[in-house]
Amino acid sequence: MSKLETKIVLNKPNEKPIGAVIWLHGLGADYNDFVPVVNELQLPIGLKFVFPNAPVIPVTINNGYKMRAWYDILDFSDLHREVDSDGIIGSVRQINELIEELIAEGFTSEQIIIAGFSQGGVISYYSALTSNYKLGGLMVLSSYLPDISLLDAAQIQHKSSLPILVCHGANDPVVNIKMAHIATKHLQQFNLKYEWHEYPMEHSICYEEIVAIQQWLLQIFAK
């Protein structure tokens, strides 16, 4: 796999960032999708935001039409039934390379947050929960865990202190909120603690969610 294209945004360009956030977009979007959120967060601390582009691949549910996707979607009626697990593993490998690059720059693993929306949230789940590093946090927006067999319970035992934020829209027609609850049940089974926020919205983000993300990030970097 080729190296991921990335867009780098510093919310305080004149300050040395005290942490980094790798933020993954959803199906068919690109790395510009969440760039506006950086300013909306109004963070008083300097962070480096890394927005990667998913590769362009054929997507089965869209009749093989090529678009940016972290993995193929094979069956939209049940996102758990047929899963492109190889595609997920390949994308996680590429996110691991971004983590390594940040560590090589001088960030500690605890200063690195993995975040993602929808398909990007899936990759964020697997990247953080399978990482060999002790990461600073995991943020999952409007997403799910399609293939629990990709997670190793023994490995996840070492993630008990990982801060996890999970947000979802109660009226989401793309990723039903029931799927988010299935994912959090798995987190509970792994004895992982998480912060849950539910909003009266569809497959999107809202102002209240941005406020929750801001507060969560500040809690992590205030330590």
pLDDT at 74: 83
Catalytic residue among 118, 124, 131, 142: 118
* pLDDT band for position 222 (cuts 50, 70, 90): confident
| Domains of the chain by residue range | 6-221
pLDDT of residue 163: 97
Residue 18 is predicted with a pLDDT of 97
Among the options 181, 186, 197, 203, which is catalytic? 203
What is the CATH topology of the domain spanning 6-221? Rossmann fold (3.40.50)
Which of 48, 1, 6, 42 minimizes the C-alpha distance to 24?
6
Which of 33, 72, 84, 172 is catalytic? The answer is 172
Per-residue HEC secondary structure of 35-76 comes to HHHHHHHCCCCCEEEEEECCCEEEEHHHCCEEEECCCCECCC
Q: Calculate mean pLDDT across residues 13-28.
A: 96
Catalytic annotation present for 118: yes
pLDDT, residue 80, reads 58
Region 58-72 average pLDDT: 92
Instruction: Check if 124 is active-site.
Output: no
Instruction: For residue 83, give the DSSP letter.
Output: B
Residue 1 in this model has a pLDDT that exceeds 60: no
pLDDT tens digits along 143-200? 999 989 899 888 888 898 999 999 999 999 999 999 999 999 999 999 999 999 999 9
CA distances for 196 relative to 2, 33, 150, 169, 170, angstroms: 35, 23, 23, 11, 12
Three-class SS state of 32 = coil
Is 172 a residue of the active site?
yes
Cβ partners under 8 Å of residue 15, min gap 6: 46
